[in-house]
Amino acid sequence: MSSASERLSSGTRSSVTNKSTASASTAFQSFRRSSMLGIGASQGSTHRVFLSWAKLQNPRALLRLSARCPKFVVGCIQDEGALLRSSPMERREFLGLLSLLGTVGATRWAAQQGQHEALSGALTEHKLPPLPYPYDALEPYIDAKTMELHHSKHHQAYVDGLNRAERELARARATGDFTYVEYWSKKAAFNAGGHFLHTLFWNIMAPPGKGGGGEPTGLLRQLIERDFGSVDAFRRHFAAAALAVEGSGWALLHYRLADGRLLVLQAENQHKLAPWGTVPILGLDVWEHAYYLKYQNRRKDYIDAWWNVVNWAQVQENLQAVMGK
């Protein structure tokens, strides 16, 4: 056995007695010196379950374990979970140890979390932006109930999902455990796309006759006519792209930074098919939650109605912002 193992073993020479509180306290004081503390269930000489210190954050699971197994062991473990030293414990002794772990372990865990947060880097707490108009302001083209659910439930879910994904990635940096980096990176991309595009969507709409509807003007109209031939040709192209989105997604008018041209593109879900080097300045959400209460499966009717609430002045502001004007 290695010298490190011997040192760990020497710290556990005190045997666990049959007095639950005293034995639990003795065992805990012996093992708390090492972050490799573990508790496991034992039947005979076979250790059926062995939990490392990092796993001792779910007291309910441990209590369920205690109900199933008559004997327990407490000991120090190696990185691979091999038992270096153990002492048998009765169920009541095990429960006494859990009580101590719950008090001292929670304090230690909280301190570790504080250290992890300090190491993880700065985080933004993303928040749901308020709508620039009441939920019923886009009637009769988009109904109030759809707007309420879309904004307060769906968009909020993207905000919450983005915050969680970024926290989990920060925790991975702090702990050095990148086991789930692919999963949380995908969640961050999906929810960030949802948050950004919905924020864009709310702002490029306005109540009909009060900023919504009409025709593009000024620089925006000039670029549309240059890049699509006419405003009518642009509308047909954009509407066709929205109608043809496979499943859930968006139709988007992008400004391409490299050559200053406008492009109509699709996005699947909230982020797939998005190209590099472009910025969306106008977007239409064609997920079913955006229109199904009013239009059911008639996506084309929803698209046709949506033009009546497009806020072209805001789209031009978006264009000028990305152009740096």
The per-residue pLDDT for range 265-298, each reduced to its tens digit, is: 999 988 888 788 999 999 999 999 999 999 999 9
b/e per residue 200-221 (b: at least 16 CB within 10 A): bbbbbbbbbeebbbeebeeebb
Domain ranges in the chain are: 3-120, 126-325
Contact criterion met (CB below 8 Å) for 190 and 249? no
What is residue 72's predicted lDDT score, i.e. its pLDDT?
45
What is residue 114's predicted lDDT score, i.e. its pLDDT?
53
What is residue 325's predicted lDDT score, i.e. its pLDDT?
76
What is residue 51's predicted lDDT score, i.e. its pLDDT?
45
Q: In the beta sheet, which residues pair with residue 267?
A: 250
43-83: per-residue pLDDT in tens?
343 333 444 444 444 545 555 554 544 444 444 333 333 33
Q: With cut-offs at 50, 70 and 90, classify the pLDDT of residue 120.
A: confident
What burial class does residue 73 get, using C-beta atoms within 10 Å of its C-beta: 0-12 exposed, 13-18 middle, 19+ buried?
buried
User: Residue range 111-116: average pLDDT?
Assistant: 51
User: Residue range 28-47: average pLDDT?
Assistant: 40
Q: With cut-offs at 50, 70 and 90, classify the pLDDT of residue 216.
A: very high
Instruction: Give every CB contact of residue 56 below 8 A, 6+ residues apart in sequence.
Output: 37, 39, 62, 101, 105
For domain 126-325, the CATH class is alpha beta
User: Residue range 114-123: average pLDDT?
Assistant: 62
Nearest by Cα to 269 from 191, 175, 180: 191
pLDDT higher than 70, residue 238:
yes
Contact criterion met (CB below 8 Å) for 262 and 228? yes
DSSP 272: B
Beta strands in 182-225 (DSSP E): none
Contact criterion met (CB below 8 Å) for 209 and 140? no
User: Residue range 213-229: average pLDDT?
Assistant: 98
pLDDT higher than 80, residue 99:
no
User: Residue range 133-161: average pLDDT?
Assistant: 97
Instruction: Give every CB contact of residue 104 below 8 A, 6+ residues apart in sequence.
Output: 28, 32
Computed over every residue of the chain, the mean pLDDT equals 77
The more confidently predicted of residues 211 and 70 is 211
